Amino acid sequence: MLTPEEQLELQRVRDEFAKCEQKPTYEIFCYEEMLEMDDGVKLRTIIYRPDREGAMPTIVVRTCYPQNDYLYRATAEEYCRRGFNYIYQYCRGTGGSEGEWEPNVNERPDGKKTIDWICDQEWVGDTGYTGCSYLSLTGWLIADILPEKVKTMYLTHYGAQRFVSAFQDGMFRHDVLTAWTMENAGYPVTADYLESCMYHPQVEVDEKLWGKKIPWYRQWITSTDRSDPYWNTGFWNLLKEIPSRVKVPLYVGEGWYDHHLASAIETYKSLSDECKAKSRFLIGAWEHGFHVKLQDKEGTHFENDDILRTFSWFWDFLVEKKEPEAQIDYYVIGDDSWYTRKNFEIENQKELNLYIGEKKDGIYTLGKEKEAGEGTLTWIFDPEHPVMTHGAESLLVTKEEQGSLLQPEPNYREDVISCISEPFEEAVTVVGKMQVKLTVSADVDDTAFVAKIMEVTADGKAYNMRTGITTLGYRNQSDERQTYTPGEKVTITIDTWDLAWKIQKGSRIRIDLTSSDFPQYSVHSNYAGCWAKQEKVRKAQESVYFGGEADSYIRLPII
C-alpha cells in the first residue's frame, strides 16, 4: 500500500507522461531474470517490453533503492507503451538480488556484465542508460566500457569526483554522507542523527551508537587529504578518471542546491573533447529531489521536472537519431531566466571586490575601497554550541534547511559577525564562484572559518546565496594538512560553489562570519589533526583583520 506522498509522486509521473507528444500505443509485457554475474551472484533484473516485433530502443537503469520500485514500474510502463524496452536491475544485496550489499565497489563489474548481456539480446536496439544520484553512479562506472549499441547516457545529480562531495578543506559533509550511511548501512540504524554527528571520536560512532563497525564509513571520514591514497588509487581513482575516456554524448543534469554540484562541475570539465562536443550540461534552481528551493522568489521558468526532459533526450537520440551540439544551460536566480553558452568558462568576466570596514550603526561595513587603518573583529567559537545550518547548498536529509532561505537579523549570535554593503546602484549578475578572503588568527593550532553570503533586498530581508568553509589546517584549498602556530596572522580563502544569481538594484550584500555550519559540515574540535579521531573539543578565539595591510574582502565574479 502506497503512502499519500507516494501516491502523489506516482500521479506526478503519470501526469507528466500525459503531456508527452508521443502517445501510448503498444501493449506491454513484463518478466524477470536472475542475471548471473562473473562471480556467480545473481541479480534481479526486471524487463518491460512492448508487444511489437524487432529490435526496439532500450532504456537501462541499475538501482539500490527497492523502496522506489513503484516509480520504476510506472516509468517503465510509460516508456514501454511508447515503443521502448525498459530494463531495471537491483544492485547486489538489494531488492531481491543475491550477494552482500556494499556501496559502490561492485557496480563496475556488475554493470559491465549486465549491459553486455542486454546488448546481446536480438530484441534490443539502440540503447540509452539513465540514472539519478546513486543510479547515476552506476552509469558513470561503465561509461568508458560501453557496447556499441549504447548511444548515450542521461546522468543527473552525481559527480565522479567523490572527494569533492565528501570534504571541503578538511570539513566533512555530515548531512550527505553520515546521513546516507545511517540510511544505507545494510541494517537498521536507530540512533539519533544529530547525536551521531556530534559523537567523539567520530571514527567510533558506528560501533558505539550504530551497533556495528562500518569499514567504508571509517575510510571516508579519516581520508581528509585530497592527496590520500584512498582517493587516488583503486575504486575512487578509477571513478574520477573515467570521464576523460567517455566517447558517447551525455546529458549531465544538476541543481544549484544539489549536494553533488561541485563534483559534477569538475566531472563535466574533465570529459573528453569528443564527448563534450555532443553533450549537454544543465543546472537548475533545485535541490537533489528537483524541488526548487528559493524562498519568496516567484518564477515561471523553473522547468524543474526532469521526467519529460529525459524522455525527449532518448526519443531524439534513439528514435529520431538526432545528435546535439555542445550546450551549457543554467538558471539565473533573481532573473527567472536561462542562460546558454557552449563553454563553461566565461571570457572577459569582471570582478567586484567589497572590503570589510569599520562599524556603522553597529554592523561592520563592506565597501569598494579598503580602509587605511587596520581594525579587528573577534568572536569565541564553542564547538559544543555550533551555529546550526539554515540555508545551504549541500544537505540531503535536513531538507527543510536546504536552498536559499530567509536569514536571521545581523549579528543574531555573539559568534556570528555580520558585514553589510551599501545598496547597489545597478543590478549585477554573479556567475561563478564567489570568494571571501580574510586575514585571520586564532589562539589554537587549528580551527574553522565560515562565511555565508546573502542578498539583502530593499525591504531589509536577507536570503543566503552561498556558504563557504575552510580551516587553518587546509587553508587556501591545500591538498594536505598544514601546520599553524597560535596567534600567527595568515591569509585564508573561503571558496564557495558556483552560482548564477542576479543581485537587484537597491539590494545589499551581507556576509556573516563565524566558525561552524552544522550539520552541513562537521564541527571543528579546535585541535589539529584528523577531525574524526578527535576525542575532545575546546573553545577558540577567532580574529579577522581588515584595513591597512590586511586583506579581508568578498570577491564577486560578475557579468
What is the SS3 assignment for 540?
strand
CB-based contact 50:26 (threshold 8 Å): yes
In tens, the pLDDT along 363-414 reads 999 999 999 999 999 999 999 999 999 999 999 999 999 999 999 999 999 9
Cα–Cα–Cα angle for 123, 125, 129, rounded to 5 degrees = 115
Q: Is the pLDDT of residue 494 over 90?
A: yes
**So what's the pLDDT on residue 493?**
97
Q: Looking at residues 247-258, what average pLDDT do you find? A: 97
Report whether 441 contacts 475 (CB < 8 A): no
Count the Cβ atoms, other than its own, within 10 Å of residue 321. Answer: 9
pLDDT at 316 over 90: yes
User: What's the pLDDT at 203?
Assistant: 98
Segment holding 131, helix H or strand E: strand 124-132
Q: What is the pLDDT of residues 144-189, one digit of tens each?
A: 999 999 999 999 999 999 999 999 999 999 999 999 999 999 899 9
- DSSP letters of 421-463? EPPPSS-EEEEEEEEEEEEEEESSS--EEEEEEEEE-TTS-EE
310: nearest Cα among 150, 143, 129, 159? 129
Q: What confidence score (pLDDT) does residue 1 get? A: 84
Residue 323: per-residue pLDDT: 84
pLDDT at 266 over 90: yes
Rounded Cα gap, residues 367 and 553, in angstroms: 9
Q: Quote the pTM value.
A: 0.95
Q: What is the mean pLDDT of residues 492-514?
A: 98
pLDDT recorded at residue 477: 87
% the chain with pLDDT above 90: 96
Mean pLDDT of 248-265: 97
User: Tens digits of per-residue pLDDT, 278-301?
Assistant: 999 999 999 999 999 999 999 999
Which pLDDT belongs to residue 280? 97
- Side-chain half-sphere of 204: how many Cα atoms within 13 Å? 7
Distances (CA, A) of 307 to 65, 76, 128, 244, 299: 18, 12, 15, 28, 20
Look over the chain and give the mean of its residue pLDDT values, rounded to a whole number. 96
- Pick the closest to residue 104 from 206, 215, 212, 189 (CA basis): 215
pLDDT band, residue 345 (cuts 50/70/90) = confident
Structure confidence at residue 540 (pLDDT): 98
Condensed to tens digits (0 to 9), the pLDDT of residues 211-240 reads 999 999 999 999 999 999 999 999 999 999
Phi-psi region of 70 (alpha: psi -120 to 50; beta: other; left: phi over 0): alpha
